[in-house]
């Protein structure tokens, strides 16, 4: 393996599947049971806030029933042990990476365990149900909403992600279908700057053609094996 110093890792719903959290596009995926237009757009929130808040309340409550799996644990170990730059960019809104001990990470699509004020833009940790029109503790407007990046909204920390990708020697994509941009385009940015690219997924994905290598299998097996390999570099 050529000299690897800086690693960017993109994770998707597949890394949390073995913890018992539904993915979006697989069999009985979340988008099988709900239309994106009904629960994951600003228009949906304006049209039916009770439905949207309830959808995220149910997913937030589910987090108390699940635990990180071996893939989350392996990435947290890599985060602790890796001497170079490392950034875990997760599309997931669950808190399993943090609970496994990961630090050098960010949630580009927001977090279930956070509430955002639509009036003043402040967010705060939130672990319980979040009814519509909950007053913001900072500005008092009845405007707290789930801190989730809806379709049509700008993902979080894109500047930080772009900077990390520009310096990457290795880009690893884990458990994502490559269906949603801008995340689906990160592999092409990585290739463009000359980084090696590796995909770890249960099956090949829409983006597999862009990767130097795709390994198929469950994340709980592939990720610990890969972390062992990269720590022996
Ligand atoms: N191990 C590894 N990969 C898995 C596993 C597993 N045990 N189970 C499923 N996968 C893979 C599937 O093969 C699929 O490629 O995880 C991927 C899940 O794809 P999606 O359900 O589309 O989830 P994701 O790619 O994270 O979706 C991206 O779309 O709806 C938006 O904001 C939402 O962040 C989400 C984004």
Give the domain extent around 52: 23-65+111-148
Per the structure, the count of domains in the chain is 2
Shared domain check, 178 and 196: yes
Q: What is the structure's pLDDT at 27?
A: 82
The CATH number covering residue 27 comes to 3.30.1600.10
Token pair listed for 50: 């009770």
Domain shared by 77 and 44, yes or no = no
Q: Is the CB of 17 under 6 A from ligand 1?
A: yes
Co-location of 17 and 117 in the same domain: no
Looking at the structure, do residues 229 and 216 belong to the same domain, yes or no? Answer: yes
Tell me: do 115 and 199 sit in the same domain: no
pLDDT of residue 93: 98
Which of 53, 72, 107, 109 is catalytic? The answer is 109
Q: Are residues 21 and 66 in contact, defined by beta-carbon separation less than 8 angstroms?
A: yes
* CA 100 to ligand 1 centroid distance, Å: 19
Atom number, ligand 1, closest to the C-alpha of residue 203: 13
> Residues in the chain with pLDDT < 70?
1-2
If asked whether residues 117 and 214 sit together in one domain, one would say no
Instruction: Identify whether 109 is a catalytic site residue.
Output: yes
Quick count: other Cβ atoms within 10 Å of Cβ 223? 27
CA dihedral 218, 220, 222, 224 (to 10 degrees): 180
Q: Take atom 17 of ligand 1 and give the residue whose Cα is closest.
A: 176
CA atoms within 13 A on the CB side of 143: 12
Does 172 lie in the same domain as 162? yes
Name the residue with the closest Cα to ligand 1, atom 10: 14
Q: Does 165 share its domain with 221?
A: yes
**36/140 same-domain check:** yes
Residue 26's pLDDT is 81
Q: What pLDDT, in 10s, does the model give residues 144-178?
A: 999 999 999 999 999 999 999 999 999 999 999 99
CA distances from 128 to 50, 122, 179 (A): 15, 18, 30
CATH number at residue 212: 3.40.50.1220
Specify whether 56 is located in the same domain as 168. Answer: no
Peptide bond just before 182 cis, omega within 30 deg:
yes
Q: Tokens representing 127?
A: 């672990």
Q: Are residues 125 and 222 in the same domain?
A: no
């Amino acid at each position: 393996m050529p000299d690897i110093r800086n690693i960017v890792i993109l994770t998707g719903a597949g890394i949390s599947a073995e913890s018992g959290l539904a993915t979006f596009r697989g069999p009985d995926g979340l988008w099988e049971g709900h239309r994106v237009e009904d629960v994951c757009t600003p228009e949906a929130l304006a049209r039916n806030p009770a439905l949207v808040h309830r959808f995220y309340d149910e997913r937030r409550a589910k987090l108390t029933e699940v635990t990180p799996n071996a893939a989350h644990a392996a990435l947290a170990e890599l985060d602790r042990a890796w001497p170079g730059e490392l950034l875990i960019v997760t599309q997931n809104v669950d808190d399993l990476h943090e609970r496994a001990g990961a630090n050098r990470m960010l949630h580009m699509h927001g977090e279930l365990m956070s509430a955002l004020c639509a009036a003043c833009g402040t967010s705060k940790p939130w672990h319980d149900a979040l009814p519509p029109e909950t007053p913001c503790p900072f500005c008092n407007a009845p405007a707290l909403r789930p801190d989730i990046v809806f379709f049509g909204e700008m993902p979080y920390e894109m500047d930080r992600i772009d900077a990390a990708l520009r310096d990457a020697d290795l880009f690893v994509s884990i458990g994502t279908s490559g269906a949603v941009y801008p995340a689906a385009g990160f592999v092409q940015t990585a290739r463009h700057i000359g980084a090696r690219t590796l995909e770890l997924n249960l099956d090949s994905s829409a983006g597999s053609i862009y990767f130097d290598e795709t390994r198929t299998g469950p994340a709980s097996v592939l990720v610990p094996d890969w972390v062992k390999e990269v720590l022996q570099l």
